[in-house]
A = this chain, B = another copy of it.
Amino acid sequence: MNESHRILPRSGTAFPLREGERLVVSDPEGCQVADLLAFGRFDLREVISNGRTLDYEETIRLTTGNRLWSNRSRVLLTIEEDTVGAHDFLLTPCSEDTFRHFYPDKPVHRGCFGNLAEALSPWGVTPDMIPVAFNCFMNVPIAADGTIRVEPPLSKPGDRIAFRAEEDLIVGLTACSAYASNGGTFKPIDYRIER
């Protein structure tokens, strides 16, 4: 039995994902970002790690076949399908602080960080336990001099990325709240759990 869900604009959710289940994250309208976190279901101190992942996968362009590793050097998720090919695993979820920093003349929003913190709180995750998320569809080119830019996602309506859970997990997922990461608009994100 599959479950399909919609994450409303500028919000987030959290749910268990069992080993062997498949999570399909899709962008129904296009040009939207979804921040994804995964914690060990039975030990929340284990969590996806951008550093371990970049180390073992030897690339910052993670796509089909690449794996997301934990801080304990174990594979938590494998990317099984990816119709976009441009995601980010360098930058932290947007937050009240990043809104103040990057958009000083705009209303402050709690951002993906606040949405993840609230959604993950019932599972026992505290804000300080939130690391860099895997930012589905986030388009962050790095220039030759090392400069980072956040550009609109390359995802078109219906584009998706699918993950296989390699362990029992608690997953956090958002529809991103920041202006820069989705081209200035706020849109929903869809996800489906395939059992």
Contact = CB atoms under 8 A, between A and B. Distances in A.
Interface string A27-60: 0000000000000000001100111101110111
Interface stretch (A4-12, A18-26, A144-152): A144-152
| Copies held by the complex | 2
Given A46-B128, A49-B92, A128-B71, A148 B54 contact: yes
Contacts of A50: 50-51, 90, 132
Nearest to A96: B73
Nearest to A90: B54
Interface string A60-90: 1100000000011100000000000000001
A96 B85 CA distance: 32
Contacts of A60: 90, 142, 146, 148
A131 interface: yes
Contacts of A97: 72-73
A39 to B, nearest CB: 11
Contacts of A55: 91-92, 98
A53 to B, nearest CB: 9
A128 B51 CA distance: 13
A106 interface: no
A91 B53 CA distance: 8
A13 interface: no
Nearest to A46: B128
Contacts of A145: 59, 61
Contacts of A73: 95, 97-98, 101
B71 A101 contact: no
Contacts of A128: 45-46, 71-72
Given A46-B128, A52-B92, A58 B101 contact: no
A149 B56 CA distance: 11
